[in-house]
Amino acid sequence: MTASTQPPKTDQKASAKSTHPSGDKRFKVIDITMKRNQHRQDALIEVLHKAQEAFGYLEEDVLVYIARQLKLPLSRVYGVATFYHLFSLKPSGAHTCVVCLGTACYVKGAGEIMTALEAKTGITSGETTPDGQISIVTARCIGACGIAPAVVFDGTVAGQQTAESTLERVKGWKE
């Protein structure tokens, strides 16, 4: 058996693209927006907007990633994210449930999941239960359309969710 001695060719296209090491597909949405704007720093608001659509809110990890990719000081990115009311930083609940209400998820029942969740917790998107246990957030396409409807429980994406499976998961957070 002869092993090839040829070193692997460097794929220039692959090395030029920016992707988050976690492999989380939601970062792809941010990457595409930055690329479309040629990583221009003045596209920060648009990039933050897309990030919020993908994640439901802006958490530190996301802000750090954007700052790095756009070569901006983190303080500047934080400054913009906290200045504009349309952006929300990580919700305050001990647990966070992000329901994707993008088209693919919506047609597969994300609306029912949201309704059941609201009825169960007594809160709606952007709110935290009075005991501080659960925050609910909505997003518009988290990049997991193939497993729609998708819900993100404490940062972990779960596919093919139903109202029942979602409530079951959240029930555990209340105890």
Helix, strand, coil abundance in the chain, percent, nearest 5: 50, 15, 40
For residues 50 and 36, the answer to whether their CB atoms sit within 8 Å is: no
Residue 102 sits in the site that holds ligand FES (CB under 6 A): yes
Instruction: Out of 47, 70, 99, 100, point to the residue binding ligand FES (CB under 6 A).
Output: 100
Residue 158 sits in the site that holds ligand FES (CB under 6 A): no
Closer Cβ to ligand FES, 140 or 169, answer by number: 140
| Tokens linked to 168 | 């079951």
For the four alpha carbons of 5, 11, 14 and 17, in that order, the dihedral sign comes to: positive
Closer Cβ to ligand FES, 47 or 113, answer by number: 113
Instruction: Out of 62, 117, 137, 144, point to the residue binding ligand FES (CB under 6 A).
Output: 144
Residue 30 sits in the site that holds ligand FES (CB under 6 A): no
Residue 148 sits in the site that holds ligand FES (CB under 6 A): yes
Residue 141 sits in the site that holds ligand FES (CB under 6 A): yes
Q: Following CA atoms 96, 31, 162, 127 in sequence, which dihedral angle do they give, to the nearest 10 degrees?
A: 30
Residue 97 sits in the site that holds ligand FES (CB under 6 A): no
Is 64 in a helix, a strand, or coil?
helix
Instruction: Out of 30, 44, 150, 170, point to the residue binding ligand FES (CB under 6 A).
Output: 150
What pairing do the DSSP bridges indicate for beta strands 95-100 and 151-153?
antiparallel
Distance CA(91)–CA(126), nearest Å, equals: 7
Residue 105 sits in the site that holds ligand FES (CB under 6 A): yes
**Chain residue whose CB lies nearest ligand FES:** 102
Distance CA(154)–CA(161), nearest Å, equals: 15
Residue 151 sits in the site that holds ligand FES (CB under 6 A): no
Q: Applying CB under 6 A, which residues contact ligand FES?
A: 100, 102-105, 141-145, 148, 150
